[in-house]
Structure 1
Amino acid sequence: MTTFMDVHHGMVGITAEQLKEAHNADLAIEGEEGVHFEKAWADPVSGTVYCLSEAPSAEAVQRIHARSGHPASEIHPVALSI
């Protein structure tokens, strides 16, 4: 499994409740692609949302996000962390 950080743009004004709903929508179907979404962060002012996940591929992450109604703008593998 690889760790991925994905970025969503255009979510200006997102609330904590909306972020939680979007995250829960991903969690509800993540197992179908072997993905596990660990955490999400948002900046309502810029409309940027970040999601951290473990998955077999970036494509698997994108398929879950797309099916949940919020496809990622960018998906980056995280090779190193401390």
Structure 2
Amino acid sequence: MAEFMDVHRGMKGITDDQLMEAHRADLAIEGEEGVHFKHAWADPESGTVYCLSEGPSADAVQRVHQRAGHPADEIHAVPVAV
């Protein structure tokens, strides 16, 4: 499976609890698209959230985020990692 890093903007002031709630919303439906969300990070000051996932395609990742109520602004394939 491919890895993806996605970026969400406009989440200024996001709290730990809000990030966890959004991540749990993704986890609850990820299997329906064959996606697995591995980790999420947030910068409350800039309002940027990053999510690392595995899945069949960027479109599958976006469908999960859209259904969970927080579509990604950008999704990048991560073909090389160490």
TM range (shorter): over 0.9
Q: Distance in 2 between matches of 1:56 and 1:80?
A: 16
**Unpaired runs of 5+ in structure 2?**
none
| 2:77 paired residue number | 77
| 1:54 paired residue number | 54
Deviation at 1:78, TM superposition (A): 0.1
Percent of aligned positions that are identical: 73
| 1:41 paired residue number | 41
**Unpaired runs of 5+ in structure 1?**
none
Q: TM-score, normalised by structure 2?
A: 0.99
Q: TM-score, normalised by structure 1?
A: 0.99
Deviation at 1:73, TM superposition (A): 0.2
The residue matched to 1:81 in structure 2 has which SS? coil
Q: Distance in 2 between matches of 1:2 and 1:81?
A: 11
Q: Distance in 2 between matches of 1:42 and 1:21?
A: 13
> What CA deviation, in whole Å up to 9, does each residue of 1:24-75 have, x standing for no partner?
0000000000000000000000000000000000000000000000000000
Runs of 4 or more, structure 1, over 2 Å off, are none
The CA RMSD over aligned residues, in Å, is 0.3
How many corresponding residue pairs?
82
